[in-house]
Structure 1
Amino acid sequence: MDSDRSSQWIQFQPLVAISVAFLIAFRAHRKNSLNTSGALAGFFVMALHIFVGFRFAAMLLAFFFTSSTLTKKGQDMKRLIDPEFKQGGQRNWIQVLSNSGIASVLVVAIWVLTEGNDKCLNSKDSALITSLIGGIIGHYSCCNGDTWSSELGVLSDERPRLITTFKPVRKGTNGGVTKTGLLAAAAGGSVIGLSYVLLEFSTITCGSDRVLKQLLVIPISTMAGLFGSIIDSILGATLQFSGFCSIRQKVVGKPGPTIKKISGLSILDNNAVNFVSVLLTTISTSIACLYIF
């Protein structure tokens, strides 16, 4: 992209970011993927990602659209299992930020450091920028992998096993894993890597010597999706309470007089577990990309 076209694009970039983010948030609200607070938070997050770089927007949107689609699969079964089931899987602002807050901070940092000029994954040019981009890849790989694992794992005919003891547990138990769920986590991560690579090849010139190396993002994101899902499950099995309610006949996340404990302590809720697992995966992938690229 030459300098004249680049300067013209910069002039229209905020308008494009706001327009696209508004349309997506509005549609998500109408489709019950986001409630009102979630749509408002989603609008700001999406506009920020689109404004800073198409690669970052691609990862966010790949996560949002694929996860929203899978959330709506098998809703009749999920209604029977999930005590907090919402038609369409509506997310609020807390859930939106727990799945995008860290990445949003990293995106802003990249924009400041690059002065709006998108750069490739190349630690020789800038180790800091490479680590920040790697962190965003890990962030959304974790989010997508964990969501795919949860949404597809619960629909599996397999009985989940608690990740810490491998004992069979009821569906809906925090920390319960299945083979289907673990494979789904890896697949969810790979989709993030693929979206990143496709947009990087389309929008940035990295040099012929860097092209093949950029493809390593896909296996990295695949492992990040699986790693994030496993961390989420370990936290869920140990620091998040799971119990069976004899009245509702469902696995619930808070103790009570009619609830028999299955596993975990009442230290973290689901949003906190997601945040910690995303943070750890973000840091791990950031370090990995720094050494690989």
Structure 2
Amino acid sequence: MTILVYQLLLGFFVSSIISFFSYIYHLLTKSGSLAVITVGTVVCAFGSWQTWVLLILLFGSSGLISILKKPIAISNEETLIAKDQQRDGWQILANGLPAIVSLILFYFTENQLFLIGYVSAIAGATADTWASEIGIVSRHTPRSILSFKPIAPGLSGGISSLGTFASLVGSGLIAGAFWLLSSLSITQTVLFFWIPLICGFANSLIDSILGAAFQVKYRCSICGQITERTEHHQLPTLKLSGLSWLTNDWVNFISGCLTVLLSWLLVYY
């Protein structure tokens, strides 16, 4: 119990520092900062230092990419995506909850299946974030993952060669870091490197498929632009396709859950 309290305090302190600077640099909203503190505290309390490092890699790399991307002008991005570039609490929790649940299950069972689920979820969140943040600056027009028709940059369901490569590298960063930090033997390489790598990359593909097929999209009655926002040109938009309740946050959450389940299946079989 003493160790758990110590880890809770340590996690709260470190994650508070991270969330503070992220808020100062306009990477997080107030609710996003609180969510980062919550997620960081829980991971530090129920996980090892390796799992904590993976979370820092996710937040750190995502924040660095956002900062480096700011000078690049991206036309229409802010008017297409459902939310601004600052991540709010729901976005953080949607990406973090599947990982947290798997980590807590590992804490109480010590079954490595759940640890791999956690790593895979973090790899998936990193892959999806890198794909979105880096893919948006591609010089080539993205295409729908389902129809392969060109779509506006920033819309869910679109993929590009740059974004796809970025998602693979992001997933590899987490999988490789955990494998190196854990000093695993050769016999454990498949479980602790390849499965998180594959599942993390699969997360970004699942996210794009759900975004293209089921995420709600709207059309502006003024300019005809397809958007994820309920308002465009300060007027309500018209629903075009998708499920009304399935926003990008829900897509991220469902993708994370499916990624964890996929990793469990791969480990089990």
- CA change 1:73–1:166 in 2 (3 A) is same
1:281–1:8 Cα change, 3 Å: closer
Counterparts in 2 of 1:90 and 1:79: CA distance versus 1, 3 Å: farther
Letter in 2 for 1:38: G
The aligned counterpart of 2:62 is: 67
Q: CA deviation at 1:38?
A: 1.5
Does structure 1 residue 19 correspond to structure 2 residue 13? yes
Equivalent residue number for residue 144 of structure 2: 162
Q: Which amino acid aligns with 2:66?
A: T
Match of 1:50 in 2: 44
2:166 aligned partner = 184
Q: Distance in 2 between matches of 1:263 and 1:174?
A: 12
Q: TM-score, normalised by structure 2?
A: 0.85
CA contact (8 A) 1:82 1:250 kept: no
Opposite residue 16 of structure 2, the aligned amino acid is F
Which is higher, the Rg of structure 1 or of structure 2? 1
Q: Deviations over 1:107-158 (max 9, x none)?
A: 22222234xxxxxxxxxxxxxx122112112211111111111111110011
Contact kept, 8 Å, 2:50 with 2:182, in 1: the verdict is: yes
Q: Which moved more, 1:32-41 or 1:186-195?
A: 32-41
Q: How many residues align?
A: 261
The aligned counterpart of 1:214 is: 188
> 112, 120, 123: which is aligned to 1:141?
123
User: 1:39 maps to what in 2?
Assistant: 33
Q: For the residues of structure 2 that align with 1:143 and 1:62, how far apart are their CA atoms? A: 11
In the alignment, the residues of structure 1 paired with residue 147 and residue 8 of structure 2 have an alpha-carbon distance, to the nearest angstrom, of 51
3-state SS of paired residue (2:34)? helix
Q: Is the 8 A contact 1:243 1:253 kept in 2?
A: yes
User: Do the aligned partners of residues 243 and 69 (structure 1) sit closer, same or farther apart at CA in structure 2, a change above 3 Å counting?
Assistant: same
- Give per-residue Cα distances to partners, 1:222-280, cap 9 Å, x unaligned: 22222111111111111113345364685411567886877645341000010111111
RMSD, matched Cα:
2.8
List alignment gaps of at least 5 residues for structure 1. Answer: 1-6, 115-128, 202-209
Return the match for 2:212 from 216, 225, 237. Answer: 237
Label 1:40 to 1:85 Cα distance change in 2 as closer, same or farther (>3 A): closer
Return the offset for 1:24.
1.7
Unpaired runs of 5+ residues, structure 2, are none
The reply to whether residue 102 of structure 1 matches residue 98 of structure 2 is yes
Task: State the percentage of identical aligned residues.
Answer: 28
Give the CA deviation at 1:219: 2.9
Q: Which amino acid aligns with 1:211?
A: S
Using a 3 Å threshold, how does the CA distance of structure 1 residues 24 and 276 change in structure 2: closer, same or farther? same
| C-alpha distance in structure 1 between counterparts of 2:225 and 2:67, whole Å | 20
